[in-house]
Amino acid sequence: MKNKPKAISVLSGGLDSTVATAYYSDKYEIHAITFNYGQRSAEMEIKSAGAVCEKLGIEHNVLDLPWLKKLGKSALTSDTEVPELKMDELDSKEICDETARKVWVPGRNVVFTAIATSFAEALNAEKIIVGWDLEEAVTFPDNSKEFLDAFNNVLEIGTLEGVKIEAPVINMSKTEIVKLGMEIDAPMDLSYSCYMGEEKPCGTCESCMRRIRAFKDVKMI
């Protein structure tokens, strides 16, 4: 396919954004953005995102946002202890609400998507690809369909060419995302989902636990 339309991917190197990016990799000329905002897992996220981009044959840019770490006291960007969860706690909204508050980075997806919008307009890209999903939307409102629709309304008004956000896994659980990844041969093995940022994932943070459950559900582990 010649002269593909362009798209910007907000690629953390995690499971969801990896599958979302792979889903559109044949349809768009994708320019991926990974943000380093002082999170514990920055090094591993950047490494994974880079590997995913190399596998998919797409451009990769890393943007530093050092000021974002200074806002709030998220366990992802400070010495605050990262909550650990048990598998049977993943479906408890009360427990996960508490975890979400501890790892919440103020305005993160608002900031990331706004910056991606600037890149999209500058590069004449039609779409912004994100990995927002149904499972995380239960406790992270900036992953929800309502957030997606609201941001797209803003972009319709606030961009000259009507840039649009595409979130192909917005209505999917982690298990469904893994199934989609298998169908499209997404490089999920290169993705990284741990909050802690060690080379070997901790296996106990919420992000690890959701990933483990999903891969177990499809009998990949």
Residue ranges of domains in the chain: 6-217
User: Angle 82-87-93 (CA atoms, 0-180°, nearest 5)?
Assistant: 75
pLDDT recorded at residue 42: 98
Does residue 17 have a known ligand-binding role?
Answer: yes
pLDDT recorded at residue 3: 85
Backbone angles phi, psi at 180, to 5 degrees: -65, -45
Does residue 96 have a known ligand-binding role?
Answer: no
Backbone angles phi, psi at 63, to 5 degrees: -115, 130
Does residue 122 have a known ligand-binding role?
Answer: no
Residue with tokens 């200074």: 70
Does residue 13 have a known ligand-binding role?
Answer: yes
pTM of the entire structure?
0.96
pLDDT recorded at residue 196: 97
Does residue 80 have a known ligand-binding role?
Answer: no
Nearest to 116 by CA among 66, 61, 73, 189: 61
Does residue 53 have a known ligand-binding role?
Answer: no
Domain 6-217: give its CATH superfamily. Answer: HUPs (3.40.50.620)
pLDDT recorded at residue 2: 65
Backbone angles phi, psi at 207, to 5 degrees: -65, -45
| Whole-number Cα distances in Å, 153 to 62, 89, 165 | 27, 35, 10
Tens place of pLDDT per residue across the chain (221 aa) = 468 999 999 999 999 999 999 999 999 999 999 999 999 999 999 999 999 999 999 999 999 999 999 998 999 999 999 999 999 999 999 999 999 999 999 999 999 999 999 999 999 999 999 999 999 999 999 999 999 999 999 999 999 999 999 999 999 999 999 999 999 999 999 999 999 999 999 999 999 999 999 999 999 98
| Whole-number Cα distances in Å, 158 to 89, 114, 117, 145, 171 | 41, 11, 10, 20, 26
pLDDT recorded at residue 88: 94
Does residue 118 have a known ligand-binding role?
Answer: no
Does residue 205 have a known ligand-binding role?
Answer: yes
Does residue 11 have a known ligand-binding role?
Answer: yes
| 35: CB partners within 8 A, 6+ apart | 10, 12, 62, 63, 64, 65, 112, 115
Residue 121, Cβ density class (10 Å: 0-12 exposed, 13-18 middle, ≥19 buried): middle
